[in-house]
Amino acid sequence: MRKIKTNIFNYPVVNSVTPINPKNDNKLMTVKNLTETSGDLYIYGVIVDNSDFKWDEADVMPDDVLNALNQVEGLDELNIYINSPGGSVFAGQAIYNMLKRNKAKKIVHIDGVAASMASVIALVGDEVYVPSNAYMMIHKPLTIAVGNANDFRKAADDLDVIESGLMSAYESKLKEGVTIDIIKQMVDKETWLNGDEIADYFDVEVIESKNIAACASDYLKNYDKTPQKLIASGSKPPQHKPQVNDEDENIKLQNELDLLNL
């Protein structure tokens, strides 16, 4: 009997809230400031697989991105704002590929953190801008496996194949003179980079530091080497975060009330 789950790119999060039906509009994964030629796309939460429910209103599914891209089809320019701790590798790969296919010029802004799978998505940009006080984290893909020795060997082989796909995305944005072997060594030991350090390895432009909070601080605590300063900043509202409407607030309130009845 074998049960292997290979679609988790970072540690699972234990949440104590009622799951949210994704059929409600995800206001944090919406195109904003739409003009005749450009639009702004926000990825401000955990990257999750398409499913019937989300644990948090900020979770981002591939379907969310697909729906948003349908709104910007034919635009010349797409600004993508990222503040995400990562999530499912397969969902993230789907999002990366969808963005890659979009014909608009893609300008990525790492607002707070692009960790784990979000670091891959961030490198989809034709241009990538990162404040000096923002972060990127890269590490090996993770999984949960149950089975015999053969099952575990296969799971390890599968993870190696998955990692090779992630390396392709990193390699596409390497700074001149940097080899993919250097990135592989960094991936092996979970490496956190600030904005200036990101620019040492990848083709990004460092901009003036901003007062930006990291998202999903509880999720970030699951990593081994998360900077404590980054975790502490999670309670502050992100600079670019779109306003959540009354319906979203009502959903959040109902979730809290449901907890009281447990």
- pLDDT of 19 > 50? The answer is no
Catalytic residues: 116, 139
Residue pLDDT, tens place only, 212-250: 666 655 667 667 777 766 666 554 434 444 444 555 555
- pLDDT of 8 > 50? The answer is no
Domain CATH code at residue 181? 3.90.226.10
Between 130 and 28, where is the model more confident? 130
- pLDDT of 110 > 90? The answer is yes
pLDDT the model gives residue 262 = 38
Cβ-contact 79, 109 below 8 angstroms:
yes
Residue pLDDT, tens place only, 73-106: 888 999 999 999 999 999 999 999 999 999 999 9
* Residue 185, token pair as written in the block: 């060594």
- Structural domain boundaries, residue 96: 3-260
Give phi and psi for 11, each to the nearest 5. -65, 145
Residue pLDDT, tens place only, 133-177: 999 999 998 888 888 999 999 999 999 999 998 999 999 999 999
Angle at 97 between CA 22 and CA 169, to 5 degrees: 125
Report how many domains make up the chain.
1
Cβ-contact 99, 68 below 8 angstroms:
no
